[in-house]
Amino acid sequence: MRVNRLLAVVLLGLCGSLFSGDSVLQGRVSYVTNTPAQITANKNNYWLGSATVFRLSSDASRNITGFDRGYDGRLMILINAGSNDIVLMDQDAASDANNRIITGDSTDCTLAAGDLATLIYDGSTARWRLRSVHRGSAPISGTLTAGTIPKASSASQLTDSDYTEAEVKFLMATACMGAQ
């Protein structure tokens, strides 16, 4: 059985915040994917739908100030599948307070073509929190090392190549142990 690299990268990126104690994953994990219409204007209180993975594109560099309908623990994975930048605006007042994005460093986050961002909704602060960004400029390469994953940064390489199930289990186990 082969496991998609995108899934492995996302799981490893979330591992430190989702797993505590002894955790075991068995079987398959899959997310509903949606490709919304191309973004043609800046988006405030943007409702993408109830999927988890969203393949976004825009006609020019566009800003997203917040996402509608967050709930505690909701996960969103954004992939810039287009050729223009998509900018996640930090705490922008153009969106309702409970729809805003916290990038973590008080600066806006630009997703270039091929970049992938993971966001989690934090019910305590009523904000979307940017958890991780994987850049789309360098190829996946390297060897498997305990607690690490070779740098994943090209969207096409994330989806076209796979790890074996055993490699993902190894990476998950060692990364999660290191995150606790």
One digit per residue, pLDDT tens: the chain, 180 residues?
444 555 555 555 555 444 445 555 566 777 889 999 999 999 999 999 999 999 999 999 999 999 999 999 999 999 999 999 999 999 999 999 999 999 999 999 999 999 999 999 999 999 999 999 988 854 333 444 444 444 444 333 333 344 555 555 555 554 444 333
What is the predicted pLDDT for the residue at 85?
97
CB neighbour class for 157 (10 Å; exposed up to 12, middle 13-18, buried from 19): middle
Strands (E), 36-115: 53-56, 62-64, 75-80, 86-88, 101-102, 109-111
CA distance 177 to 48: 34
Quote the pLDDT of residue 74: 95
User: Quick one: pLDDT at residue 31?
Assistant: 84
DSSP string, 100-154: BEE-SSSS-EEE-TT-EEEEEEETTTTEEEEEEEE-SSS---S---TT-------
pLDDT of residue 10: 53
Given this model, what pLDDT does residue 137 score?
A: 53
- Sequence-distant (6+) residues with CB within 8 A of 155 are 79, 80, 81, 113, 114, 115, 116, 136
Provide the whole-model pTM. 0.65
Helix, coil or strand: residue 34: strand
Q: Which residues in 121-135 are b (16+ Cβ under 10 Å) and which e?
A: beeeeebbbbbbbbe
